[in-house]
A and B are shown apart, each in its own frame.
Chain A
């Protein structure tokens, strides 16, 4: 029978299947961070259980770490306890940890690929919804809760039910200045934040194949914002070249064996999908979000919606609530939205190509005098690479702050946060109420669009700054 890539990975990881369809799935790779793991380790201790496969587990502190000078440690007492607890747990259970001062430290979804820990055809889980990122490598990667983290630690498996197959085909070429961030925002706008619920999304089409590995990660990363737990892309030469020689990638004979297997990871041409949609890349424009859900997207040429023109009562209420929270008027132009802050970083857009894209726009330009802007590289290695290329200087000369790696203002668990009513152009993934700080207002954009907004002081069209 013809199968999809998701079907193949699923079938290849079945340890057991009950009559009711409940399956026990083997987990090849488990990423752990400080926020969603303490209660899981505590659970193991309380029941005298061990970690079954410590060497299939990799840990890093990313959510709570300061992005300023780290020699002083962590000022916030609770954050410090959480990071220290992760360190103690990793030591006790024999798990490799990249500590706060290790240059390999960074956002969990950036370091996995960077180290070659992320590999095609594997099942990868983490107590973090943006685990979907790793699907860019043709792996089945999804976020889990803390009880499930404990389950994986104890058994190296997870209790799961098979999801539906959903394919999104994007064909054609993107206009200049339009990026994979705009593609995924467009997709979420189209399917809605619950559009992918119960499904695994495979991204396909010649546009997807033409994207770099990092651009693919941005798309898979925000799959969760469309409600699907996992998004994946067929692995190809770009993926294999990216992984070759990475510290945790297969070596020698194993590399050849792995490559043979990875080359089989393809959806059969006549495989059946429960749902399928098509998008034309040449029709996608630079996007922004105006509201408090990632599905609230408009193009930079567009206008904020008017609740009066909405017939559905739920939608109308939801628009009204969002406009009130965001401090926006119905029908106002996207470009008239004045901003106070710019955040470039996160597991969505904190990789080297993202920083290059923003730096290209900012070169020899100054950011608007009323804007406060920062770049938070996704990992110590991204930071190092950017510094070697002189990107840090471009950012600093334009008026940006150049920070240490971590999740930072994507979710504002550390000291980096918006004040009430402050408005931010952000390359992160969620514009929920309070996400970047209580009362803070977030507009999701691509790195180039964030740079354009920093220069203009209002949301602006990155195409204006393309050479």
Chain B
């Protein structure tokens, strides 16, 4: 996984609440067997018309937002399906940081597995930051310091310490869990005694 440390750029603002993962990446693109290449289809139905032409009004079709690495959005972002294609599509487009007042649980944890930082802020602060998006001004995100700097202001945010460590160091959490193989083995042998039906053998 790619490390996440800090980031600076003009954020894109998508002021819609309850954006579901079907909106982020519709089902026709889930037929892939790869993790890459989904960026061009990110927000497909909002981004392209029925003829496949870009819809000019849509924020990610406009300069400079078509190069945004930060997406500011409405609450409950990423609800619905568990598809990891949603963070893969964001990542492939170039977005590595999302800012919202809340996220759906599965989407939230999927982000961390892919080097994307989902930041939670109060609605009020989101409105403030969205002004920077509208004025096409840069903001910077610093994960280590857990802060966003915009103009002469800064906002602190909080991240789970373990998730933060994994992002900062780009850790593979399967490798980390495999280091606990002894514990898993012990658990399994005790399980065989306590609940022999689980293994069905």
* Contacts A18-B162, A39-B35, A193-B18 given; does A227 touch B105 at CB 8 Å: yes
Q: Closest CB of chain B to A250's CB: distance in Å?
A: 4
Residues of chain B within 8 A of A129, CB atoms compared:
80-82, 106
Contact B199 A56 (CB under 8 A): yes
* Residue among A16, A81, A159, A254 facing the most chain B CB atoms (10 A cut-off): A159
Contact A79 B82 (CB under 8 A): no
Residues of chain A within 8 A of B135, CB atoms compared:
none
Q: Closest CB of chain A to B36's CB: distance in Å?
A: 10
Residues of chain B within 8 A of A78, CB atoms compared:
31-32
Return the contact of B178 from the options A64, A154, A432 (Cβ within 8 A). Answer: A154
Residues of chain B within 8 A of A426, CB atoms compared:
none
Contact B197 A154 (CB under 8 A): no
Residues of chain A within 8 A of B35, CB atoms compared:
39, 146
Determine if B200 is an interface residue (Cβ-Cβ < 8 Å): yes
Determine if B34 is an interface residue (Cβ-Cβ < 8 Å): yes
Contact A159 B31 (CB under 8 A): no
Determine if A15 is an interface residue (Cβ-Cβ < 8 Å): yes
Contact A79 B109 (CB under 8 A): no
A-B contact count (CB 8 A): 183
Q: Closest CB of chain B to A140's CB: distance in Å?
A: 14
Contact A22 B162 (CB under 8 A): yes
Determine if B160 is an interface residue (Cβ-Cβ < 8 Å): yes
Q: Closest CB of chain A to B37's CB: distance in Å?
A: 12
Instruction: Encode B1-25 as 1/0 by CB contact (under 8 A) with A.
Output: 0000000000000011110101100
Instruction: Report the Cα distance A439→B200, complex, angstroms.
Output: 47
Contact B196 A229 (CB under 8 A): no
Return the contact of A143 from the options B15, B26, B106, B199 (Cβ within 8 A). Answer: B106
Contact A155 B31 (CB under 8 A): no
Contact B82 A248 (CB under 8 A): no
Residues of chain A within 8 A of B82, CB atoms compared:
36, 127-129, 143-145
Residues of chain B within 8 A of A198, CB atoms compared:
105
Contact A430 B22 (CB under 8 A): yes
Q: Which 7 A-B pairs have the closest CB atoms?
A: A250-B197, A147-B113, A38-B33, A78-B31, A145-B110, A145-B84, A254-B197
Residues of B within 8 A of A (CB): 15-18, 20, 22-23, 26-28, 30-35, 45, 50, 74-76, 79-84, 87, 102-106, 109-110, 113-114, 160-162, 173-174, 177-178, 180-181, 183-184, 187-188, 191, 195-201
Residues of A within 8 A of B (CB): 15-16, 18, 20, 22, 24, 26, 28, 35-36, 38-39, 42-43, 47, 49, 52, 55-56, 63-64, 76, 78-79, 81-82, 85, 119, 122, 127-129, 143-148, 150-151, 154-157, 159, 161, 193-194, 197-198, 224, 227-229, 248, 250, 254-255, 257-258, 261, 293, 314, 317-318, 321, 411-413, 420, 430, 432-435, 438-439
